[in-house]
Structure 1
């Protein structure tokens, strides 16, 4: 058993859940997608809850993935696929059973699984998924990165709302050791691979186009996410720099005031050429105003009260 790590990336999984983008999430829960591709090996075996991320998929991505699965199922003679009518986002959709994990090059040569399954291997690690189940009504919830534990209340409600899904082509991945659920992992089936080390599936032009479209959709999708994440990090860093500069400015003002140098302020913006003696930051102006008032106290209370009584409306 793995030790539990900090944050939400638990290794001591109780009710593991994985957040996926659409349309991949619904395709997996509906039993059409049988391989979940990742750049890292599956850390669990058994039930894995599937949550759809909040990004709404565009029509081109949906079409590319549906065309991809039409073609790879056609390799096994299945031409009538029923795709999900909707691809909801920010919802818990259902679950699958993760029975193993192999590398892409192993999956493509694994003769004991259907040809169409071998074509699903498009990433470094392939999580082998069976027994899809979906929720009657998807639950709205927030997801996280990586594999994380589902909240107990959500789990207790979700487990009562599961219904089995009839996959177009159910697959039972054989385990080298049925008594050990982790016996099927990256490198464990290398001795069972054919000597040719190549897939025996003959790819037509339509199949090649569908595979290329699926790869392009996944790559383009990941690039968009990486770009957004990069911009977010830059914005956060910029805000931190601004806040740091303001803090430095305020601390400098306090130091100057403490040394009776309130009129000498430093301009922290190097790009600003005509730097005045006073900081342009509004919070600094407020500090200076309060400082000047403290250095020049107002009139005594009796004089102030008399002056107020002598006021007349204009």
Structure 2
């Protein structure tokens, strides 16, 4: 088991993930704490975030900002500072992926704020901490899945990082602090008691905000049968994680 895990993660030196806007910037600014995917997080530690080339629609930005205003209000935070701009085709910054749990585990995890639990809308939830953003995002191309950042890009980017003060910093408790992989799908199942906000308890504005966020994400779920299909890249990426070796052969660029 241990040797297989070492092999699985050995291909990732400076892992990067390409995301659509506005989700990419919301994650780097610490507003978004959960990155939802249809597959478990293949890494722990620093994950660079790159914004895909699709220009976000104003309606999409509004839907996601409304969603986060509503869920932060659940924790008494009513003044969320959103990014002034949502750049595309740019490397934006990074977060630390500290674990991965299932949606069912996240929504019933009482040790974390209710607003974080509301973010669990996908099969697997990547838990993100310590956001940092690039003072000057710079242009680069992205690929599907998790891939290695080019060394020259990494060396330039790591010097341009700036700390971010999230609206509500979250520290996800690890089941075993000595094992950074202890927080994985299934690790919280025994303590899960399905305690979350029921549909009846949700305010009309929160229900509308959740529906709007889901609708915004579904615009990327249409399969156009091409290699450049983003396949639910934001709310649920249908692509399986691909190793850097395989990706170098395929060169499946996110357009």
**Are 2:49 and 1:50 equivalent residues in the alignment?**
yes
Alpha-carbon shift at residue 193 of structure 1 (Å)? 1.4
1:69-84 equivalent positions in 2, closer than 5 A: 69-84=68-83
Offset at residue 230 of structure 1 (A): 7.7
**Higher relative contact order, structure no. (Cα contacts within 8 Å, ≥ 6 residues apart):** 2
2:109 and 2:195 in contact (8 A); partners too? no
For residues 1-314 of structure 1, the aligned pairs below 5 Å read: 1-3=5-7, 12-194=11-193, 197-200=194-197, 202-223=201-222, 226-227=223-224, 229=226
For 2:177 and 2:135, the matched residues in 1 are separated by 32
1:76 and 1:114 in contact (8 A); partners too: yes
Paired residues of 1:11 and 1:43 also in contact (CA < 8 A): no
List structure 1 runs of 4+ shifted beyond 4 angstroms: none
TM-score normalised by the chain length of structure 2: 0.84
Shift of 1:136: 0.7
Distance (Å, rounded) in 1 between the aligned partners of 2:185 and 2:94: 23
Structure 1 vs Structure 2 CA RMSD: 1.6
What is the alpha-carbon distance in structure 1 between the residues aligned to residue 158 and residue 118 of structure 2?
32
* Matched length: 223
- List runs of 5+ in structure 1 lacking aligned partners: 5-9, 233-314
Structure with the greater alpha carbon radius of gyration: 1
Deviation at 1:219, TM superposition (A): 1.2
TM-score by length of 1: 0.68
Higher helix share: 1
Deviation at 1:2, TM superposition (A): 4.7
Unaligned runs of 5+ in 2: 230-255
